[in-house]
Structure 1
Amino acid sequence: MAKNFNMLMFFYMMVLGTVVSLSANNWLMIWTGLEISIMSIMPMISNKNFLSSEASVKYFMIQSISSSMMMLGVLLLLINSKIEYQIILTSSMMFKMGVAPFHNWILEMIESVELMVMFLLLTIMKIAPLNMLSYLMFKNNLFICMSLLIGSMLGLTQTSMRKMMCYSSIFNLSFILASISMNSIWWLYMMIYSTMLIMILLLMNKMNINYINQLSLNENKMSLKMNMWLAMLSMGGMPPMMGFMLKLMIIQMMMMNKEFLLSIIMIVSSTLVMFYYLRMSFISILFSASTLKWKIMNNMKSSSWIMMVNITMMPLMLTLKT
């Protein structure tokens, strides 16, 4: 993403639209904030890549359809229609965020956007729809189960790092939806997930990695590989990384609410997600690297803040929790 005045202006307008949606007290202003964010991120999606123009058009069409569904649900709410408006509003927000089974559009466009725009699509652009869902007293268990299964199982077959991050986002979004009734929990989950995602994307950009087999190349420093390894383990939920604490918190909350079947599905799907992150870690460090394994510890002196954040965050969160 080019760092010029236009891009900064579009980024500012996108954040402003999100803030408008979060602070609004009526449906019309929520819709206005969403539209400001959508129209601001579209120029950021377009870049020198030939496929980016197609991606921006796809994004505009999908968001237009979901916004129309949202306004239809709001109209049904205002006229006191017998039609269940909450289903329409919930479906429109799921469509906007790319929750399973409405996830195919984001997988198609994620390959043609820059990594920073990918981060915005997977994090900031989902905050306003999630906040709107927190206003609706509607059970999302069907969407949660489908996102858990699709995000964990289809991620196993991917070789593209971008698509794997996208399936992981769908999987983590199901955990956020499970805690959507408690604002403090899903906001905390979103902030820490965003931190883990930006760590991996920064390392992907620095190491110029787009596919899994590129992790085995030895052109990068061992400190970068170790940081990538720890960031992926944290995203997968390996204790004592901070990603484990997030999943433990949500599963504990679900069991306290007597959602035992959903908790079992979360645990089983989390093991699948942990498997494909471990696979990437093994490719990066253990199997394919020609560097002698006993020299790894000698190169860890410069493994900087990513390692410290991943390791120390979980004890800190446990301290704050008690």
Structure 2
Amino acid sequence: MTKNFNMLLFLYMTIMGTAMSLSANNWLIIWTGLEISVMSMMPMISNKNFLSSEASVKYFVIQSISSSMMMLGVLLLLINSKIEYQMILTSSMMLKMGIAPFHNWILEMIESVELTIMFFLLTFMKIAPLNMISYLMFKNNLFILISLLVGSMFGLNQTSLRKVMCYSSIFNLSFILASISTNSIWWLYMMVYSMMLLMILFLMNKMKINYINQLSLNENKMNLKMNIWLAMLSMGGMPPMMGFMLKLMIIQMMLTNKEFLISIVMILSSTLVMFYYLRMSFLSILFSSSTIKWKMLSTMKSSSWIIMVNISLMPLILTLKT
């Protein structure tokens, strides 16, 4: 993303559109804020990559369809129709966020955008739709189960780190949807997940890696490998990292609400997600590395900031949960 005044203007309008949707008290203003965010995001998606124009058009088409579905649901609500308007509104927001089974469009465009825009698409652009879903009383159990299965199983055979991050985003969004009735919990989950994703994308940009097999190269310094290793373990949910505490908090809440089926699927799918993050960590540290392993201890000082963030947030999350 080029650092010029045009991009700063589009970024400001994106933030203002989301803020408008979050602070609105009627559906029309929410729809207006969403449209401002979408129209401001489209120029930022376009870059020097020749596939970015196609990604921008795909983003515009999908967001237009979801906005049309949203307006249809609002009209059905206003005329007191017998048609289930909450299902239409919820489905439109699921399509806008790219949650399974409406996730194919974001997988196709994620390869051609910059990492900064990828971070915005996977985190910030989902806040306003999630806030709108929290206003509805529609049961999201079907979307939660499908997203858990798709995000965990389809990420196993991926070689692109971008697609792994995208499937991981779908998986984590299912946890957020499970806690959507409690604002304090899903907001905390979104903020901490955004922090973990930001660390991984920052290291991907610094190490210039886009595929899993590049993690085993010895060109990168050991401290960078240690950093991305710890960040991936946190994203996968390895205790005592902060990612584990987030998942434990949601599973405990689901057990309290007697949602035993979703809790079992959450636990089983979390093991699959942990598997492919562990596989990437092993590639980064253990395999195809000529570095003497006991010398890794001398690089811990340079990795201390990620260790501090991952481990020190665990008691804080426990405090906020109680």
Task: Give the TM interval when normalised to the shorter protein.
Answer: over 0.9
Q: Secondary structure at the match of 1:157?
A: coil
Aligned to 1:222: 222
Aligned to 1:39: 39
Aligned to 1:15: 15
Aligned to 2:195: 195
| Paired amino acid for 1:30 | I
Tell me by how many angstroms 1:226 deviates. 0.4
Q: How does 1:80-95 map to 2 (within 5 A)?
A: 80-95=80-95
Q: Secondary structure at the match of 1:55?
A: helix
Calculate the TM-score normalised by the size of structure 1: 0.99
The CA distance in 1 between the partners of 2:304 and 2:295, in whole Å, is 18
Q: CA RMSD of the aligned region, Å?
A: 0.8
Q: Deviations over 1:10-29 (max 9, x none)?
A: 01100000000000000000
The CA distance in 2 between the partners of 1:239 and 1:21, in whole Å, is 36
Aligned to 1:251: 251
The CA distance in 2 between the partners of 1:65 and 1:304, in whole Å, is 46
The CA distance in 2 between the partners of 1:157 and 1:305, in whole Å, is 31
The CA distance in 1 between the partners of 2:320 and 2:95, in whole Å, is 35
Contact 1:203 1:224 in 2 (8 A): yes
Tell me by how many angstroms 1:81 deviates. 0.5
| Paired amino acid for 2:12 | Y
- Tell me if 1:30 matches 2:30: yes
Q: How does 1:40-119 map to 2 (within 5 A)?
A: 40-119=40-119
Contact 2:134 2:180 in 1 (8 A): yes
Tell me by how many angstroms 1:317 deviates. 1.9
Q: Secondary structure at the match of 2:159?
A: coil
| Paired amino acid for 2:130 | L
- Tell me if 1:154 matches 2:125: no
The CA distance in 2 between the partners of 1:305 and 1:36, in whole Å, is 37
- Tell me if 1:179 matches 2:179: yes
Q: How does 1:259-270 map to 2 (within 5 A)?
A: 259-270=259-270
The CA distance in 1 between the partners of 2:289 and 2:8, in whole Å, is 40
Contact 1:179 1:186 in 2 (8 A): yes
The CA distance in 2 between the partners of 1:300 and 1:201, in whole Å, is 21
Contact 1:222 1:300 in 2 (8 A): no
Tell me by how many angstroms 1:154 deviates. 0.3
Q: Secondary structure at the match of 2:302?
A: coil
Query: How many aligned residue pairs are there?
Result: 322
Q: Secondary structure at the match of 1:296?
A: helix
| Paired amino acid for 1:258 | K
| Paired amino acid for 1:213 | N
Contact 2:249 2:321 in 1 (8 A): no
Q: Extract unaligned runs of 5+ from structure 2.
A: none
| Paired amino acid for 2:75 | L
Tell me by how many angstroms 1:321 deviates. 3.5
Q: Deviations over 1:78-106 (max 9, x none)?
A: 00001110110000000000000000000
Q: Extract unaligned runs of 5+ from structure 1.
A: none
The CA distance in 2 between the partners of 1:304 and 1:17, in whole Å, is 37
Tell me by how many angstroms 1:307 deviates. 2.0
Q: Any runs of at least 4 consecutive aligned residues in structure 1 with deviations exceeding 6 A, and if so which? A: none
Tell me by how many angstroms 1:299 deviates. 1.7
The CA distance in 1 between the partners of 2:315 and 2:307, in whole Å, is 14
Tell me by how many angstroms 1:318 deviates. 2.0
Moved more, 294-303 or 178-187: 294-303
Q: Deviations over 1:210-236 (max 9, x none)?
A: 000000111111111101000000000
Q: Deviations over 1:94-130 (max 9, x none)?
A: 0000000000000000000000000000000000000
The CA distance in 2 between the partners of 1:319 and 1:106, in whole Å, is 35
Contact 1:21 1:30 in 2 (8 A): yes
Q: Secondary structure at the match of 1:303?
A: helix
Aligned to 2:206: 206
| Paired amino acid for 1:2 | T
Tell me by how many angstroms 1:280 deviates. 0.2
- Tell me if 1:291 matches 2:310: no
Aligned to 2:234: 234
Tell me by how many angstroms 1:291 deviates. 0.9
